[in-house]
Structure 1
């Protein structure tokens, strides 16, 4: 997994050298009062509902931004696309950005994304076990197999921290990499003892008689900022007005999504394949208008403590 990440990051560095950070397009876009065209790399999950809602509500158009939302499987594709200038902005969990920062990739966080609700048992992610499992709390995950979507990233660090805080031994947890859609069946069939699952698969697992025993995001650190929007240092330097306009539109989008949960749920059907029958029952993330930097620092500390990095990430260097 580490070798795979190294290859991706090396490719991103090469793309940066060849692509020049997309300076030409952003500079040309500033001419006159024309709308500036931007492409934003996102993932088809609940977390990015505010940006879809913001586009729908005209928050970006008001700032003369014409937004194209490009779906990707994850940050491994989004990071190099942003660095090369193919995307002007991208979405990623904060641990991935911290890992990129320690490897010298020139990225900057520019806008808030989803956060934990901060309420154990009422969060958009949780550790699920079969209904009849003897596992009752995070401490009981010691020595057990736990499915996560990506090894050596945010999921295993928050699960380890939840186990640690509950009095268990995080070093003995056996992590198994599985896609989120495969997790409910893997838990119910006994392929793994537990799975750290996000919505909508958390609700699907519960509907299949899964039992949520830990809200690892909420338990790891207060009001955890799970993911954010970022850009390249090159774009930030060449077109700060563009970055500022994007940030302002995203802040307004986050605030609107937070205060209009019904509309936020409705927009999910426009870019995900989530069944209409379960959308009303999903637990939405929190969508704050500000990034909780202390929680990003907590993720950096966990990454170092659990060996994801060999040197401490410089959190302040990730922000403008």
Structure 2
């Protein structure tokens, strides 16, 4: 196994995933591609279970059913809720689901261990105001240097939020090892801050609106600002063997997301999903900052994820993200 990862892949052991993967996603494998004959309008498998987070970033995959997009490509895509990207990787490898939404950091870590995962679509890019690290007023935590010696909650230890904090601390000459990172679902953020079980916490969507409105929290760090603006933040993964066996289905899924992503950029469509499908109240809908949705694969913003991992010492060699990335089809119609 090359280099040092510094990440924890939960839910199943690494050895179990390696046994299931047959080393399909390793960095030494050729970059995945669909055959020219792949037809997104003739899927081999029509029922797709797609793991995602019960948060605004799920809007596009939800829209594949609501907007008729899935039907256009002959797919019935059923969203299923998760709370961490580690779960996404493990369930893809085990074959429990066909698609999952994940941060790229965990996917890169898995691929470097020879685990059979491929990025098939982007989901959204980092943008200011959409997700941030929050602390209570009066806590004394106002900027990154104040995190040293503190307990900081992130949704997953291999999430983009955790990695961006470490990257920015190192840029300021500070030691990320002096920060205690813990995992916390977004639904528990407000209570954890109020009870003092964490000193600062990541929040986005409804959780961010809640802590801002009820606790008057201070934004310590914006995950979508500065050099991270426009960075590929989260995307969809599939198992390499599934892609090889079902190229039409994969193309159909990619095209469905491409079309649905354009639809959820409509504010009315997006707001309806927040309210009806995600259970946001009117206040949360009004205060939500929509993610910068985009499904088309972009090589440079994706590669930045691997470059940051090397910067923070999570990996000790270059990794080419293109080696585990499936290009966006050009025949969606």
- Gap change, CA 1:142 and 1:74, over 3 Å in 2: closer
1:8 to 8, 13, 22: 13
Moved more, 138-147 or 54-63: 138-147
Residue number in structure 2 paired with 1:24: none
- Gap change, CA 1:31 and 1:140, over 3 Å in 2: closer
Query: In structure 1, how many angstroms separate the alpha carbons of the residues matched to 2:171 and 2:311?
Result: 14
Aligned length: 304
Q: CA deviation digits over 1:207-233, x for unaligned, max 9?
A: 111111320243452312111011111
Unaligned runs of 5+ in 1: 18-29
- Gap change, CA 1:157 and 1:65, over 3 Å in 2: same
TM-score, normalisation: structure 1: 0.83
Query: In structure 2, how many angstroms separate the alpha carbons of the residues matched to 1:203 and 1:232?
Result: 35
Structure 1 residue ranges, 4+ long, deviating more than 6 angstroms after superposition? 30-35
Residue 244 of structure 1 deviates from its aligned partner by 1.2
Give the number of the structure with larger relative contact order, counting CA–CA contacts within 8 Å between residues 6 or more apart: 2
SS in 1 for 2:50: strand
Residue number in structure 1 paired with 2:204: 198
Residue number in structure 2 paired with 1:262: 268
SS in 1 for 2:283: coil
- Gap change, CA 1:265 and 1:165, over 3 Å in 2: farther
Query: In structure 1, how many angstroms separate the alpha carbons of the residues matched to 2:42 and 2:165?
Result: 50
Unaligned runs of 5+ in 2: 1-5, 23-39, 327-333
Q: CA deviation digits over 1:67-89, x for unaligned, max 9?
A: 22233333333323323433222
TM-score, normalisation: structure 2: 0.80
Residue number in structure 2 paired with 1:70: 80
1:241 counterpart = 2:251: no
Q: CA deviation digits over 1:254-303, x for unaligned, max 9?
A: 11112x12211211244434334322211111102424432332221222
Residue 169 of structure 1 deviates from its aligned partner by 4.3
2:190 to 184, 190, 201: 184
2:284 to 278, 281, 306: 278
SS in 2 for 1:290: coil
Query: In structure 2, how many angstroms separate the alpha carbons of the residues matched to 1:129 and 1:236?
Result: 43
Q: CA deviation digits over 1:12-38, x for unaligned, max 9?
A: 334456xxxxxxxxxxxx998998222
- Gap change, CA 1:75 and 1:170, over 3 Å in 2: closer
SS in 2 for 1:159: helix
Residue number in structure 1 paired with 2:218: 211
- Gap change, CA 1:58 and 1:293, over 3 Å in 2: same
